Each structure stands twice: as structure tokens, then as C-alpha cells.
Structure 1
Amino acid sequence: MASVVPDEILPSPGAASPVTPTSTSGQVPLEQAPRLKGRQRLLQSLQRMSSTPSLVRRTRSHSTGYQRDGKASLSCVSLSPQCWADPSMSSPSQIYGGLGTSSPPATTAPSPGSARIRTIGSSQNVSQATVPLPADVRPASRSMLRETYDPETELINEMNGMDVQVASPEAKSTFDFWQDMPDEIKMGIFNYLTPKEIVRCSLVSRAWYKFCFDGQLWSRIDTSDFYSQISSDALLKIIKTAGPFIRDLNLRGCVQLRDKWLSDAENISDTCRNVVNFSLEGCRIDKTAIHYFLLRNPRLRYINLSGLSSVTNSAMKIIAQSCPQLDTLNVSWCSNVDTKGLKRVVEACTKLRDLRAGEISGFDDEDMLQLLFERNALERLVIHRTDVDDGSLKVLMHGKDPEIDILTDRPIVPPRVLKHLDLHQCANLTDQGLQSLTHNVPFLEGLQVSQCPELTDDAITDVLRTTPKLTHLELEDLDKITNSLLIELAKTPCAERLEHLNVSYCESLGDFGMLAILKSCPQLKSVEMDNTRISDLSLIEASYLVRKRGYSTDLPCVGLRLVAFDCVNVTWAGVREVLSSNSYLPQALKAASAVVTVKESNGESDVSDSLSACPPTPSFPPQQYPKQIIQLKCFYGWQMTVDEHTKRVLRGSLKPANNLARKWADYMMATEEAGTGGAGARRRRRRARDAERLYNFDEDDDDSYGPFIGRRRRARSGGCTVM
């Protein structure tokens, strides 16, 4: 049985140990304690352990030898080594603090260097008030085992003859980051991966395989990015696994599923019953499979069956019966569908807002268009390359036999809610039919009447004056329109909103009309004017338009797309003006940028200076860039240079872009001079060779101009093929 007194303070053989004083002279004799054996040794151990407070709590009787001498045991006193080292402690009352007497010791001032004795009290039963050992003499092994070792329980077990092993401290539990993570967080992490990456991750382990093919990850299946790289078996497995979770199913271009639709069409339809958006454009699918799928998905709101020859009027009947929530229907280029099937859809689907029926026959039927007029719910109507004529278009806008206003001579009908109308390549349409749109489409934002050869300025101008929200206008290949139309367009209310204009192949248009558009339409983002009579003046005005949009500290972005190839009046000088404008900075901003560059280059020396000695440095503006630039499509011989210049500007390398534009201009001038005959031809050819050699040299980091002697020439691929 272990003793309560630590081993560090027990008397060792041959060393002096304190004993109870026996003389009355006040001297404390020091002699070696005798070693006890047998019963006496056991009683001495019990006496020492009896001083613990746990025995007092259990109301156990004290040992008989504890009060025999009328003095306390050693465990009741602070056993500091200083207590025995001071020779001035000569009396028992000084050593024991008066524990053995009834009267308290006299209070005396402690002498310097004397040891301090903690007095417990003068009660007869001193075992009820014990003091733990000081921390500096407490053994480390005891303090470490104190958390798992209970002396009270150990004493009882030993007295009862029980052999109990002390439990070792429990090992610290480890945390598995991925295994202990909630499944919802794991699913959120997998949601950031692309479908291709999810399929690859499924090969890591069985647990990952389970997560990768969980239906929550495949609520939206869009194969437009990988339809040519995935096998039919893998795609079919994904569809069947995620079946009830799929909301958006886009199988555009998945021709490899042709055999699967024949064999497993019913299983796929039974699995996928909650699809909302469905697209089969360009697929090869059986007629029966389409019917199965449409019947089992009553929640469909978007259906795209464009270009499917297996889609017939029977499919339209099924859509009308089982898809009451339909919002968008695209059946363009479905050769086996006509307006008879569409009429059923329009009658049954009251929420239809978008109907795309390009190249569908039967739009000369006035009953169909009368139904659309009465419903007046379509916001987008695409009927390009159809047989619509002036009479059917009037029925669509005015209805049959409308009431005419006497004062204005206009039909009294509610305005249409149409926002986008596509009538391009409708050969039977003339000015009389198009004028029916006047005052009837005030919410129109997009109008496409390209390749309608019979349209003239008058009808289009009347429509433009009454469509203040127009943003997109397609007038491609209209031979009968002139610059007067563009001038009137610049004066209409929609000029402030116009973003896209297409007048390609309108050979009667030139700078006179285009300059008016570029000056009056500040929101332009795209202008297609190839095969027209425009010249460099239009390009210069477009550059000025974009420059007025300002500068910022962010990298530039494309703000205007110009298409001007095959324009005989556009020269390389106009193209160079566009390039220079893209990389142009005002002199004030250029000076500020130069200061910033110098400041950044001297940053190391500034850091070495003392902050207290140097005055506060002024703050310089950051590097400035144009907010927007022009993306130009021009003559194919210059296009590679234009594209390279645009790339440099978009990444913020304005200085290399300026160098490229300057060297290209020198090259073009030298080439033109070299092609001129007469006197000085030899000198011009030599200048052309020098310009070509100058252009081939990459001086992106240097603005110097002249012969480059003694400098290493960087390798370039292609030489002057950029031209």
C-alpha cells in the first residue's frame, strides 16, 4: 500500500530525519527513525492515511495511535524543505506551529530568512482539517494519475481483498472530415461539379458512387456540352437513376439514344414523371416514344421538338390534353405538323406565351389567326418562312371585321401584348400587311422582317414610330430601303433604346444614314452592315461613340460589335482608326498611369526609408483602361491583326497593342508604296522590306522606333502571315 507522503520527502537511510522532541530544553534532536516491521508497519501506514478527508466523510474512527502523543502527523503540516534547514527553529511550538498545545502561539515578527509555517489549528481532532501538498513538491506522476485514480475507492478495494486495475486515460477520438460531414453538405459540394466530373468521381469508391448517382445531383440534365462524348448506356443509366428528380431534360443532339427509345421508351417514361422542361431537338426518336413521354409528364411547361419528323398533329393533340401548364412550344421545321394541330394547343393551353412555328404550313388560315387574336396571350411569335400573307397578318392584329374609328381611320381593337415578332423570309408579305402593326404593338421589343423583298421605307417607318420599346431590328437583304429609313429611325422614340441593328446586304445604305444612327443611338451593342456602301467615316464615328462611354480601372470589355466585311469603301485606314481608338487613353490619364508605373518600380527603395522621417506620400490614381472597345469583323486579310490587337487590349496590354497598330500601319503604307510603279519603285520596295522586318520584330516592351541593332530577336511563328 502506497504512502500518502511523497517519496521525495521521505527520510532516506543515513540521512537525518525530524522526530518528536523528548527534551525540555527546546532542542530538537535529529536521529534516524527505526525501520518497523510486521504489525507495527501496517499500523503506521494506517495512521498516515487516516489524515485524508475522505475517511472523515465516511465517519470512520480514527487510529488509536493518531492522538496518542497529542501531536499531529506529518501530513498536517506544510513539508517545505525550508522548515528543516533553519537552525533557529529550536522549540516544538515553532516547528509544529502549536499543534500540540491548547493555547495559540505568540505572534512574533518573522526574522529574515526564516521559514513560514502554516498553522492548521489547535483542535484535538486535527485529522478533520488537512492541507494538500504544495504544488512545487507534489510528484508529477501523482498529478497525472489524479484524473483516473480515486484513493478512496482504492483503499476500500484493498481492504476488501479485491484486485482492481486502474484504467488508463482514454485515447483522443479522431475526426474524419469527409465521413462525419452531413450528407446535405456533401451534396452541395458535388453540385459544383460538371456532369463529366461527377461521372469521373463515381469511380473513387462505393460511397462516392452512391453520391454521384444520387438523383439530387441530376435534377437538371443538359447534354449540349457532352452529347457527342457520352455513350447511350451511360446516359440511359443516369436518366433511370435520377428519374423522379429530373426537372430539366435537354437531350438535344443525342442521336445515340435512337435504339434506346425503341427498347426502353416505356421504362424511361415511367421513371421520369416530373419533367418541367423537355428538349429533343435534333434527336432521332420514335413517334410512340414521344407520345409515351408526353402522356406521363403533365407538368411540362417548356417543350422543344424542333426539327423532328416523327412529331405529328397527334403529338399536338396529346399536348393539348395532358399539358395544361404549357408555356413555351417550339415545333419549328416539323414537317408533319400544321396549324390544325397547333389550333388545338392554343385552345387548350391557356398559359401559352411563346409559340415558335417556323416553316409550318397553314398560317394563311384566318381561323387560326383569329383564335390567336381573341386569346391575345402570346408574347413571342415566330412564324418565319411560312405562308402568312397580308390578310392573315391583318386578322392577327385587328381580327375579323373590326370597328373603325372615324377620326383616325384605325381599327378600334385592344393592343397586342407581343414583344417579339419574327416574320423573316415571308415572301407573301407586303407593305399593306406590315402597316397593320402600326399602333397595335406598343410593347414590341424585337422585330425581324429580313428577306421580305416587297417591303419599303414607308411601312417600316410607320411601325418604328409607334414602337417606343424596340431594341432589336433586323432589316437584312431589303433592297428597297434607303438612307431615309435610317434617318427616320434616328428620330424615333426607340432610338435611345436600340441595341441591335442589322442592315447587311442593303446596298442602298451608306454613311449618310449610318452616321445618323451612330450619333443618335448611344446604347448600340451590335451593328451588322456588311455589303453596304459605308466607308471609314462610319468606323470613325463608331469609335467616337464607344470612347464616350468613359474609362475605368477595370479591364476593358467588348461594348460594340461591328460587322463591316465586303464593304468596298472601307480601307485599312478606317480599320486602323478603330484599333487606335480601342487602345486610346487621354493625356491626363496616360500621365497618371505613367506615375503609377514609376512608383511601382521604385517600391523597394520606398520601403527601406523610415516612415517617421519621410512625409506622407501622395496617393496616385490606379491604372486606367477604356470601359468598352469595338470588336470588328472586317476584310479577311486584316482580320488576324485585328483579332490579335483586340486580345491585347482585353487583357490590359495597351502599350503592346499600340505598338502592333503602329507597325501594322507602317507595313500597310510600305506595301501600298511598293505596289506603285514609276520612279522610286526600288526605294519603295526597300522601305516595304524594312517595314516588314520591323513588323516581324516583337517590341512589346519598348516604344523605341528605328533599327534594332544588337538586340535578340524573339521567335515568331508565321512571320507576316498575320497580314
Structure 2
Amino acid sequence: SLKLKGRSNSSPLPLSALDFIPVSEDDVFVPIPFVVRNYFDEMLPRELQLQVFSALIALHERDHLRTIARGSWTVIKASSSKNRWVGKERGVRELVKLSRVSKSWKALVFDGQLWNALGLRPLPGMHKSQLLALSDIGGHFSTSLNFAGHVHLNTLSDITEKLCLTSPLSIPSASTQLTSVNLRGCINLTSRSLHHLLVRSPMLEKLCLKGLNVVTNTTCDILAMYCPRITVLDLSRCLNMDAEGIQRLASAFKARGDRLLLKELRLSGLKKVDDKMMATLGAVTPFLEVLDLSYSRKLHNSALDAFVALDEDQEIGDDVETVLLTSSELGRDLSDSTRYRRRVTRLRHLSLTSCVLLTDQACSNLVHAVPQLELLELADIGEDLKDDGLVRLLSTTPLIRKLDLEDAGDITDSVLAAVTPTQEDPEETSTIPSTSLVEPGQALEHLVISYASNIGDDALLTLVRRCRRLTVLEADNTRIGPEVLREFVTLCRLRKLDNAKIVAVDCRMINDGLVREMIPMTRPRLGLRTWDTRKLRYLDARDFEESDAIMKAAHGQDELDEKRVVIKTFYSWQGVDIVWAARDKRRKANAKRRANESSGGNETDGEEASGSGRGSGGGTRWWSPGGRRSRPSSGTNSPPAFPELNSDGQCVIM
């Protein structure tokens, strides 16, 4: 009940207003709590949350492409440490960082739907435990495995177990869903762990094991038995494997009556290559488009002949095209009336670089067998490569785009004539004709004739004028003259070819004056805007605010201008060195000027007369208060000033 207060002499009212306010035990000054709801975690379903995280990677990739298209991506930006990872790779790193927010976000980040392509290039320092956790959580969805460059990887067996799914009825044991595996550079692997992965990957289509010593001939047996869908295989520079392994791989398919689905086979540095292996390989690879046998020291002319040869009693499929050739067409005895049947392959790229036992007869053996050939590499074979075989082969390859004949010192103008179109356009236009390519040379883009000292200027001039797609001409240590260089640069600019390049190192007819004459249309190097090339210090016009600044820095030679032709000569290298020295000198001068301005430039005469230890700008003096120079150990420049440390009025310690 309300207790009434008696009337007093000092209060006119018997009751106070505070008597009606109830007493509360809580603090009335505590703010009312405002609950912020987490709509992302509480309202969105899990599938939409995963879509948001997936869009994070796509946005990073799209933003980088937009930056490049806008023209704001420069060498200085690319050289910055914060731009080491860009595009998709940066998005992956940011996605992993989000796993630190909460446990629920960590579960979302490492959901398998976001890691169907398990590529760890952006995460070179990932710990073993993290790698196993990622494989455990998202491995069941992974179809691609890229561990290239992870030299400390030694947990492949455990990762394989994490990637395995419960097997369907058609497969007797658990298997992965991997279709692409790249283990290049993983030098800590063991043969057992590698074979375990291959056995558990029956759907494998692409495999790169380049340079791994754990690859043996047994690896080829496992591929033949457990990986029948393989289409891209790179076993280059595997020192513990030789031609016997490839022989066993091809023989296993031949014995089963199957065909290898291989489209790309790279076997650079393969040892003990013989006719038997090449014949078996050619019989079971009707779909092969890329064959790399470079640096196979034992490869003979007869091995290439066996690769495309067909016996009379040999069974072939209905989809295999054949051709019947005479001895004269193969460059053999004209009096021989024997007819030879050859298999027409689908090869587009053939690399025989540094196969030192080959001669031009190897080219004759491939006549009419490679009509779709686009890239032919015959570098470092030497003087045994003559005109006859090359001319026979090139006359049957109208789609040739790249021809590498480096160190073929005995070839003459006849080889250039074989890849020079007969028709010459009366007028040069800015567009390339879209007519069907029927003549060798109409598609030629890259030609290497270095050390071919018997080639003359007239043949080169004709080729440059008629091969309208020619973008790269490497002719170092040849008799190339000034007219060829001028014509190539002029026509490339007229045809608007991007990233055109001519190499004329050690060419006596190319002098410093000619290179200087071409400066307005050329550049000394083919620059790149990447973090990996930051130490090459390319000159990018986008890094200069004023258009005249690039002229002062590098004589106007923007190394990132795609329209400028790259001229690679001795004098071009000298120009790069001169520009580097000028840039270093300018940078040191600017640094010295800034140091002078910050140290002694702000001191006035009145301040010097007063003997004060501090200048108006807060900089330290060049002289000690006692009138003597500072000790030699203090250096030639004054130490940096810290105004916040000298604000208490004390003297400055020099």
C-alpha cells in the first residue's frame, strides 16, 4: 500500500513525484540491445551460399580481364608484390582466407563443389595437413588435379584415398573421378604412390609426368591396363623410362584389338628408340595429332618410315586413309618399280629437334603422310639436312604455320621457294584474305633459318612479301641484308600484325645505324606485364604520365606496344643496357635530390645564425652543433628526421 507522507513545514505537498516511480533492480542506463541478424547464414540456403563463394572467384577473374581490356594494367602494377596473384588465382587465395571467419564459412569454403578442379598453384606453401583436409572435404568432386611445382609433395597415396569414391558395379574397386592430372615438378613422389593413383583413375584423359624419375616402364604397363581413355600424355625427360615402355604400352592395346585414343604424345629425350617401337606406335594411334620426339639421340630415318609404313597383310580400320607412292616420290632409286603404301596420319605438330642421326631422307619418308602438318621442328640436326627431302615434304604440307630449320647450314633458296606462294598480291591491304589455303606458305607465321648461310636476300625478300601471315623471322648468323629487315618491318606494320619479331644477331650486314633508323617502328624486347618478369624491367608507356617521358627514358621504344616490331640484334641489346643505365642514373639523382630537400633544403639563414638545432621543416643539419663534421661512420647523408621524437625540445643527436 502507498504510504502517505505527513505535511511538513518545508513542503507544500504531502507527496513527492518520485514516490510514484517503481524501484527497479536493473540499471536503467544500459542501452537496449539491438540484435543484427546474419541473413547470409540464417536466411540463404546452402546452395545459394556456395554460388556466392563461386562468384567470388569469377569476379576476380572478370575484374582482371576488364582491367587489361581497359588498358590500365601496367608493368609497374604487375611488378607490385600485391599483384603477384591476379585473376582466378587471386580469387582462390581470397576464398581460402574466408575460411578463417567462422566454422560454418570454413565448411562452405572447402565444400567439394567449389574444388572440382584441385589446382594448388596459387597456394605454394600449403601444409600437408591442409592439403589432406582439402582432399578429404572436396576430393569426391574433383575431376582435375594440378600439383605442378609442389616439390615437397609426399602424400600422394593419402590424397588418392581421399579422392576415391564408392565404386559403381562396373568397377571392382573404389576409384577417383579424375580426368586430368599434372604432377610436373613433384620430385618427392614415389613410384608406388604414383602407380596407386593411376590404378584408381580409370577415367583419366590427360596426364603430365614430365621430368619425374619415378616414371618407369612399369608405369606404361599400368597406363595400358587401367587408363584406356588417355588422350594427352607427357612423359618427356623421364630418365628411368625408355622406348621399351612405349613399346609395351602400344603392344598391350594391339593385343586387345583396341586403339589408343592418344591425340598428344610428348616423349622428349626418349632413349633407345627403334623401328619396332615406332611401327607399333603408328599402328595403334590413328588419332595422334602431336608427336614430340625431340632429343631422341637414337632415332633413325627408318624409324619414321616404319611409323607410317603399311604391310600388305596388315589390317587397318575403315577410318584410316592410305596412299600408294612410287620410289621416286619417296626420294629413292628411280629404277625401282616398287609401290609403297603409306598411312595418312592426322599429325599437326611434329618435333624432331636435336635428333642428330636424322637426314633429309626422314622428310622424304613422310611425304604425303602428314598433309595436315602445321608445326615442323627440325632444329639442331645439322648439315645432314639437305634440300631434296625438305622440298619433297614441304610441297605436300599446305597448312604449314611454323618451320624450324635452325642449324641447317646446307639448305639453300630452294627450301624457301617451297614455302613461298606463287601468287603475289598486287596491293598490300590491312586485312588478310580469307580464301582457302591451297599453297604451302599461305599460312606460314613462324620461320627459323638461323645459321643457314647459303640463303640469299632475294629469296627472303620474295618470301616476306608473299607470306602475308609471317610474324616471326629468325635469321641470326645469316647473310640477311638491310633491305630484308626494312621490308619485314614495313610490311608487318602495314599488315597490322601483332607482336611481330625479327632476329638478326651476328648478321654482318645489320649495323647500328640501321637499327637506329628503325627506332620509330620497333622495340628491342617483347615485353610482358607479369609478376614473374618484374626483374626484366620492361618499359611500358602506360607507366608514364606524359607522352614525352617515354621518349626521354627509352627513345620512344615502348616494349609493350604490340604494334611495334621486335628487332633482336646485338645493337638492340646495347640499347637496352644504355636505357637501364640511364634509368638507374635518373633514379639515383632523384633520390639524392629528395634527400637534399628533406635534410637541408628547408633551413633559412636566420636559423643558421641562431644556432638552433632544428630547422623549420623538421630536418636534421648536415653539420654538428660544435662546428665539426660528423664522424665518417655516420655516412655521407644525414640520418632521417623523426619530428615526433624531437618534439620535446631536446637537442638533435647527429
TM-score > 0.5, shorter chain as reference: yes
> Given the alignment of the two structures, is residue 579 of structure 1 paired with residue 472 of structure 2, yes or no?
no
Write the letter of the residue equivalent to 1:383.
Answer: L
Matched residue, 2:415 = 485
Equivalent pairs, count: 445
SS at match of 1:490: coil
Matched residue, 1:526 = 472
Q: Take 1:514 and 1:244, find their aligned partners in 2: how far apart are those partners?
A: 57
Matched residue, 2:153 = 257
SS at match of 2:181: strand
RMSD: 3.9
> Given the alignment of the two structures, is residue 438 of structure 1 paired with residue 367 of structure 2, yes or no?
yes
Q: Take 2:420 and 2:514, find their aligned partners in 1: how far apart are those partners?
A: 23
> Given the alignment of the two structures, is residue 201 of structure 1 paired with residue 98 of structure 2, yes or no?
yes
- Are the counterparts in 2 of residues 307 and 332 from structure 1 also a CA contact under 8 Å? yes
Matched residue, 2:179 = 276
- Are the counterparts in 1 of residues 236 and 266 from structure 2 also a CA contact under 8 Å? yes
Matched residue, 2:73 = none
Matched residue, 2:127 = 231
Q: Report 1:387-406 matches (<5 A).
A: 387-400=298-311, 404-405=325-326
Question: What is the aligned-residue identity percentage?
Answer: 29
Matched residue, 1:709 = none
Matched residue, 1:459 = 389
SS at match of 2:480: coil
SS at match of 2:340: coil
Shift of 1:315: 1.6
Write the letter of the residue equivalent to 1:217.
Answer: L
Instruction: String of CA shifts for 1:178-219, please: whole Å, max 9, x gaps.
Output: 753444443234334333222212112222211111111111
Shift of 1:268: 4.3
Shift of 1:380: 1.2
Q: Take 1:200 and 1:255, find their aligned partners in 2: how far apart are those partners?
A: 23
Matched residue, 2:53 = 190
Shift of 1:425: 0.9
Q: Take 1:652 and 1:440, find their aligned partners in 2: how far apart are those partners?
A: 56
Q: Take 1:536 and 1:646, find their aligned partners in 2: how far apart are those partners?
A: 26
Shift of 1:358: 1.8
> Given the alignment of the two structures, is residue 339 of structure 1 paired with residue 243 of structure 2, yes or no?
yes
Q: Report 1:303-314 matches (<5 A).
A: 303-314=207-218
Q: Report 1:526-565 matches (<5 A).
A: 526-550=472-496, 558-565=498-505
Write the letter of the residue equivalent to 1:186.
Answer: Q
Q: Take 1:247 and 1:559, find their aligned partners in 2: how far apart are those partners?
A: 36
SS at match of 2:262: coil
Shift of 1:389: 0.6
Matched residue, 1:680 = none
Which one of 200, 223, 231 corresponds to residue 319 of structure 1?
Answer: 223
Shift of 1:224: 3.7
Q: Take 2:39 and 2:129, find their aligned partners in 1: how far apart are those partners?
A: 35
SS at match of 2:153: helix
Matched residue, 2:316 = none
Shift of 1:368: 4.0
Larger radius of gyration: 1
Instruction: String of CA shifts for 1:232-278, please: whole Å, max 9, x gaps.
Output: 332332223221111111111212112x247x366346467111101
Write the letter of the residue equivalent to 2:147.
Answer: L
Matched residue, 2:117 = 220
Shift of 1:361: 2.4
Q: Take 2:244 and 2:46, find their aligned partners in 1: how far apart are those partners?
A: 51
> Given the alignment of the two structures, is residue 267 of structure 1 paired with residue 170 of structure 2, yes or no?
no
Shift of 1:489: 2.2
Matched residue, 2:446 = 500
SS at match of 1:396: helix
Write the letter of the residue equivalent to 1:180.
Answer: M
Q: Take 2:395 and 2:462, find their aligned partners in 1: how far apart are those partners?
A: 16
Write the letter of the residue equivalent to 2:202.
Answer: P
Q: Report 1:84-483 matches (<5 A).
A: 176=39, 179-191=42-54, 192-193=56-57, 194-227=91-124, 229-258=125-154, 260-261=155-156, 264=158, 267-268=161-162, 270=164, 273-283=176-186, 284-346=188-250, 347-348=252-253, 350-366=260-276, 368-373=278-283, 375-386=285-296, 387-400=298-311, 404-405=325-326, 411-453=340-382, 454-483=384-413
Matched residue, 2:14 = none
Shift of 1:546: 2.0
SS at match of 1:527: strand
Q: Take 2:538 and 2:245, find their aligned partners in 1: how far apart are those partners?
A: 53
- Are the counterparts in 1 of residues 116 and 142 from structure 2 also a CA contact under 8 Å? yes
Write the letter of the residue equivalent to 2:288.
Answer: L
Q: Take 2:592 and 2:474, find their aligned partners in 1: how far apart are those partners?
A: 31
Instruction: String of CA shifts for 1:617-675, please: whole Å, max 9, x gaps.
Output: xxxxxxxxxxxxx66479xxxxxxxx9996328999766556667699xxxxxxxxxxx
Q: Report 1:35-54 matches (<5 A).
A: none
- Are the counterparts in 1 of residues 421 and 442 from structure 2 also a CA contact under 8 Å? no
SS at match of 1:498: coil
- Are the counterparts in 1 of residues 310 and 341 from structure 2 also a CA contact under 8 Å? no
Q: Take 1:178 and 1:538, find their aligned partners in 2: how far apart are those partners?
A: 68
Write the letter of the residue equivalent to 1:176.
Answer: Y
Matched residue, 2:617 = none
**Structure 1 residues 312 and 179: alpha-carbon distance in aligned structure 2, compared to 1, 3 A threshold:** same
Q: Take 1:455 and 1:495, find their aligned partners in 2: how far apart are those partners?
A: 20
Of stretches 566-575 and 440-449 in structure 1, the one that deviates more from structure 2 is: 566-575
Write the letter of the residue equivalent to 2:225.
Answer: Q
Q: Which runs of 5+ in 2 are unaligned?
A: 1-33, 58-90, 166-174, 254-258, 313-322, 330-336, 423-438, 528-535, 558-577, 594-654
Q: Take 1:450 and 1:406, find their aligned partners in 2: how far apart are those partners?
A: 27
Write the letter of the residue equivalent to 2:309.
Answer: H
- Are the counterparts in 1 of residues 140 and 163 from structure 2 also a CA contact under 8 Å? no
Instruction: String of CA shifts for 1:382-422, please: whole Å, max 9, x gaps.
Output: 11122221111111122347965489676333422111111
SS at match of 1:202: helix
**Structure 1 residues 184 and 498: alpha-carbon distance in aligned structure 2, compared to 1, 3 A threshold:** farther
**Structure 1 residues 187 and 450: alpha-carbon distance in aligned structure 2, compared to 1, 3 A threshold:** same
- Are the counterparts in 1 of residues 135 and 163 from structure 2 also a CA contact under 8 Å? no
**Structure 1 residues 431 and 241: alpha-carbon distance in aligned structure 2, compared to 1, 3 A threshold:** same
Write the letter of the residue equivalent to 1:215.
Answer: G
Shift of 1:309: 1.5
Shift of 1:579: 2.8
Q: Take 1:450 and 1:196, find their aligned partners in 2: how far apart are those partners?
A: 41
Write the letter of the residue equivalent to 1:548.
Answer: L
| TM-score normalised over the length of structure 1 | 0.55
SS at match of 2:265: strand
Q: Take 2:455 and 2:592, find their aligned partners in 1: how far apart are those partners?
A: 38
Q: Take 2:177 and 2:194, find their aligned partners in 1: how far apart are those partners?
A: 15
Instruction: String of CA shifts for 1:164-189, please: whole Å, max 9, x gaps.
Output: xxxxxxx9997936753444443234
